[in-house]
A and B are shown apart, each in its own frame.
Chain A
Amino acid sequence: MRVTPRLVVYGLFMLALAMVPTLAQVLAEPFLVTLFTRMIILAVAAVSLNLILGYGGMVSFGHAVYLGIGGYTVGILAEHGTTNGFVQWPLAIGISALYATVVGAICLRTRGVYFIMITLAFAQLVYFVGVGLYAYGGDDGLTIYTRSDFAGLIRMSHKPSFYYLCFAILCIEILIIHRIVHSRFGLVIRASKSNDRRANAIGIPTFRYRLAAFVIAGSFCGLAGAMLATQADYISPAVMHWTRSGDLIVSVVLGGMGSLFGPAVGTIVFLLLEEVLSSLTEYWQLVFGPMLLLLVLFAKRGIDGLLPGGDRG
């Protein structure tokens, strides 16, 4: 990998993230660790969405659903006394993958705006499943009284430890996505985005590869859901609300679609922007809404596109 200014920026960014707990201690602002843990978890979700949205051109408007599926898996297991993380988290991933397989197989038959709408509709369907889960709190959500426990290997209630667990997961995810998008599989996904008809005409059955990418993305986001529920000790249908899926798309585009680190940067900038703007004015979305429009019109490649450093690839 060539060292470009862009890469240096991303390196510094990751380094800064690694320093957050130390910084929080120095500044005596322990709240920073909580804030950034949440950001990193949502970054895991955004990076997973980027695989299908940025590299695969699949505008999924229902990605936040996996946050709910992962979260409820952890929550419901905990409610029934299973707090072993080695059971909870893999199951969260597995159920997300299963859901993605079924829903992806239906959604990926459709194209363009139909795909956007049907992913949105399935997300709404699951959202209302969450609302209807009377035994698990329904609309009010479910409090998780006992945190996931990884055989005592990680001190899950110790905030910096949990932060580093999440940070490590983000790093591993970025590495995996990096390998995937440069592998034969990844090239098929990108070729399908570029010209799906052509890809089929040269003998590549793109549907199954697109579906596999859809499942991989869903699985990672399901993991993010498990992490999110663990961090908050709580899960509710609100994390699956369609505007949360919108937020994830915004994070990806803000950071830069089809860029490896972009969506992680985008998530953190988005959430920091929310923090800053909402501290300035109660009506922060009055500013943020038009900013989105400007982003679309003038900086389509997001933050990644603004950084120097040659071509991407």
Chain B
Amino acid sequence: MAEPILATRGLIKRFGGLVATDQIDLDVAAGSVHALIGPNGAGKTTLIGQLSGEIRPDSGSIRLEGRDITAAPVHKRCRLGLARSFQITSIFPDFTARENVAMAVQSRLGHSFRFWRRAKSDPARTGPADALLAEVGLEDRGNMPAAALSHGEHRQLEIAMALATAPRLLLLDEPMAGMGVEESVRMVETLQRLKGRISILLVEHDMDAVFALADRITVLVYGRAIATGTPAEIRANQEVRAAYLGADEEEG
């Protein structure tokens, strides 16, 4: 097997007595869509936090394309090709949609210790930003303040911002959360287009979306990865059905 784009080994994070992440070994194959599912409180958010660098694991290692990033700060990981979206929309609300994406483009263009030249009209920033807005279907929203966009548009905007950093791996934390049916379909389409070009680690509650997109699925329960496999394998896995899918069906 080729080197996975992302590999964690023995990742542990405790909060007081609670083990939020318990010995996680996760391999995301390059070019794949890998879904992470599990009931609430399974430790998905904590795991994403450690992968993106906002939470420091107590032990274990994280490698991105073979490179150890366990101790790297958030911005460094992004420069190395790991981009993320947030569970709760996180944008620059008082910037325009175009400027939101342009900031991410700017980050890729090297350091920002440039004090004199006007940046907003700089084609090196706005050119790629406009192209990315078009890619996620927001081409006519460029001049609007980001705060004025709809919820679905915010999520698309976040995808565009993540893409602007030229990532090798996208961490998507519940990109469909709070979306209507139509918006979800659009998001799935957007992700389908990205599939193959960029590796994706997807945390999502929408099982239709997960089974439609994922090449492999890892099931997290109480901080442990209880199963990893293809969608068909996961569907057939008795332990998973008992621990998670069954319960989910009862709920909904």
Residues of A within 8 A of B (CB): 179-180, 182-188, 190-191, 194-195, 197-206, 209, 212
Contact = CB atoms under 8 A, between A and B. Distances in A.
A187 B161 CA distance: 15
Interface stretch (B63-71, B84-92, B244-252): B84-92
Nearest to B102: A187
B203 to A, nearest CB: 15
Contacts of B118: 179, 182-183
A289 B36 CA distance: 56
Given A201-B78, A202-B78, A191 B117 contact: no
Contact of B91 (A179, A198, A203): A198
Contact of A182 (B54, B75, B108, B119): B119
Given A183-B115, A197-B90, A209-B112, 19 more contacts: A179-B116, A179-B118, A183-B116, A183-B117, A183-B118, A183-B119, A186-B119, A187-B120, A195-B91, A199-B92, A199-B103, A200-B73, A201-B84, A202-B107, A202-B161, A203-B104, A204-B75, A204-B103, A205-B76
Most buried by B among A182, A204, A209: A204
A199 B95 CA distance: 12
A247 B76 CA distance: 39
A191 B100 CA distance: 9
Nearest to A195: B92
A203 B113 contact: no
B106 A187 contact: yes
B50 interface: no
A183 B75 CA distance: 20
Nearest to B80: A203
Contacts of A186: 115, 119
B93 interface: yes
B119 A187 contact: yes
Given A182-B118, A198-B90, A205-B73, A212 B95 contact: no
Nearest to A193: B94
B113 A202 contact: no
22 contacts: A179-B116, A182-B118, A183-B117, A183-B118, A184-B112, A185-B114, A185-B115, A186-B119, A187-B99, A187-B112, A188-B103, A194-B95, A195-B93, A198-B86, A198-B92, A201-B52, A201-B74, A202-B78, A202-B162, A204-B106, A204-B107, A206-B75
